[in-house]
Amino acid sequence: MPEKACSTCHLIVAGNVCPKCKTSTLSDDFSGVVIIFDPKGSAIAEVMKIKEKGRYALKVR
């Protein structure tokens, strides 16, 4: 199953529903994967308002 990115929180998901938002507004047209290990210590996480570690897409169309 191809990975998709949630258009709400940008989390990369291998399914049809974002486990975080519980929504199905996912897009397979995303770019720039970032892996957040430490949301509190990451400038990217702060800019993207990411509170949990995981893999996220920088851009979701």
Complex with Zn ion: residue 46 or 52, whichever CB lies closer: 52
* Binder among 4, 5, 6, 57 for Zn ion (CB under 5 A): 6
What spatial distance separates the first Cα and last Cα of the chain, rounded to whole Å?
19
Q: Which of residues 7-36 bind Zn ion (CB under 5 A)?
A: 8-9, 11, 18, 20-21
**Any idea which residue has 């570690």 for tokens?**
53
Phi, psi values for residue 39, rounded to 5°: -55, -35
Complex with Zn ion: residue 18 or 45, whichever CB lies closer: 18
**What is the C-alpha separation between 23 and 17, in angstroms, rounded?**
5
Binding site for Zn ion (CB under 5 A): 6, 8-9, 11, 18, 20-21
